[in-house]
Structure 1
């Protein structure tokens, strides 16, 4: 007898397949977009934010950075001047990208309802999340390394510095991987550089050519003016919080009740136990000025010159920092007294914690001694009875229970 074969009905499988197809169509309908993105070809584009003053004639060039002399990219526009390219990177912990939409109106198509020109949208995805911003930079910074190059170390011999033409200073700058020669062909750019050099130099007209010689007093005054302008209205929030608010913040001292429990050797401490008064506005302004000055020096000036200008600023007569210095000295005394008061207030707590540790150790030692004495007083018979296996045996009290 031939074996019978059983076949499974395909009704359920057909229904399941139909449901899956409907679900896929629904997902496709939800994920459809009116924008069609084409595959990118070639290197990925970079996103720049440029000032409105930058014209199409502007170029991205390589110039020696004023701080360290290594080549860096800048934007130079004959009409707008020089711009530094700052790169803002996204955090690596959260991958991101840019979706850039281009919008252009088509002149040959009209909307059937409104009659307006049809807007043609184009979109592009940039996988690189970096953002490049162009910020203005004074071209004077590019010439400062050449102006101080070869200057005498002795300040008394400053008058012996030679008067040189702008071309001689240009030749002092490193020319490897630099486009300085090309941008100097632009008349407006060359005039701008020479005009900025004149603000920090002594100049002499020799025929149809201007000769320059660095004047350190003018250079210091120019940097102070830049720092003052930078500090107007407050510094960026991160700098304002770290270098101004925290630097001028007085310590939070003990209250009067807490201070009364401590033995304070100095009678002046009673005046210290209070919250600090508001910082004078003039002190805040001077602190902002010093912070901005240090930032400019550490970002755009060669290290030896930056240190020299910072020393000259302390003894300069262009800005009086005596109010700031007095406040910082008073603040240092307050912090020292606050540290002393804090240490005195912590003495009772330290002693109580030490007493608790000593009591715990004494209790542990007492228990060990009691156990040792109890074991020593036991007889041999008692010790042998403890070794007997009493599992399954009834206790003696079991036989004296009420029935």
Structure 2
């Protein structure tokens, strides 16, 4: 079976790692420059053929390698030992990761770990996972992702710039949270206040008319109108109703005036 992979030209290896969000195995790509890319499969509702140079590939799944922050891998593993105050060597922190990832993971240690004696040098051999440093890093990550969201969103709600800022911030938070364990994502969300956005969205919901509810109400109104019309037709006019109440006992019927009298 053929596949199509859109990847950097310096791609080197495809490796299997536990996804930081779900913990289930997922495919990643390692480049020659020791950068990590997540391999994402594009969902295709309908099967289509692809034209690649002079070849036609039928029904081939398309995979795209997207840039990935190795800090998420570290956070997923080190978050489990977040209550430990012990400084350890770098090798101990990186236990469980493939050796070929060591270079790119070491670059991310400074983002989520404290160094013994407050040293800033990457050569310091003792590290400790830092919740405070990790929280700051993730909040900065959300702010950065927020700046990368499409600028066209800005013009979608004129006069509600504050709501737009919060909406973009929430979208960025959700994107970052896709790479965090649920408990970690919940803790990160507490650093943000979306109460103003929630109030605005709830006010919009109250003004929204559900099409299904509208159709239901219309049908009920039509049925009620039809029932009323039928009752009116059955009841007749006021004059007719009055004649129905007249005592006709002893009165000749209309047909008696047209019958031939007996001789």
With normalisation by structure 2, the TM-score equals 0.71
Contact 1:89-1:129 at 8 Å conserved across structures? no
Aligned to 1:50: 7
Structure 2 counterparts to residues 60-71 of structure 1, below 5 A:
60-71=14-25
Q: Please, which of 196, 207, 225 is the counterpart of residue 108 of structure 2?
A: 196
Q: Which residue of 1 aligns with 2:73?
A: 142
Distance 1:182 1:334 in 2: 52
Q: Residue 166 of structure 1: CA displacement? A: 2.5
- Structure 1 162/133 Cα, relative in aligned 2: closer, same or farther at 3 Å? same
The answer as to 2:187 corresponding to 1:308 is yes
In structure 1, the gaps of 5 or more residues are: 1-43, 102-122, 153-159, 174-179, 185-189, 250-276, 315-320, 340-348, 378-403
Question: Is 1:289 the counterpart of 2:169 in the alignment?
Answer: yes
Please say if residues 165 and 212 of structure 1, whose CA atoms lie closer than 8 Å, have aligned partners that are also in contact: yes
Residue 157 of structure 1 aligns with which residue? none
Shift of 1:85: 0.7
What are the within-5 Å matches in structure 2 for residues 107-118 of structure 1? none
Q: Give the structure 1 partner of residue 139 of structure 2.
A: 224
* Per-residue deviation, 1:227: 2.0
Q: CA deviation at 1:209?
A: 5.0
Report Cα offsets for 1:101-127 as digits up to 9, x if no partner.
2xxxxxxxxxxxxxxxxxxxxx32222
Q: How many residues are matched?
A: 228
Distance 1:212 1:334, change over 3 A: same
Structure 2 vs 1, CA of residues 201 and 334 (structure 1 numbering), >3 Å: closer, same or farther?
same
Q: Does 1:329 align with 2:199?
A: yes
Residue 33 of structure 2: which of 50, 68, 79 is its match?
A: 79
Larger Rg belongs to: 1
Identify the residue that residue 164 of structure 1 maps to in structure 2: 88
Instruction: From the superposition, tell whether residues 333 and 98 of structure 1 become closer, same or farther in structure 2 (CA, over 3 Å).
Output: closer
**2:98 corresponds to which of 153, 173, 181:** 181
Residues 34, 104 of structure 2: 8 Å contact kept: no
Deviation at 1:350, TM superposition (A): 11
Deviation at 1:353, TM superposition (A): 6.1
TM-score w.r.t. the length of structure 1 is 0.48
Indicate whether 1:90 and 2:2 are aligned.
no
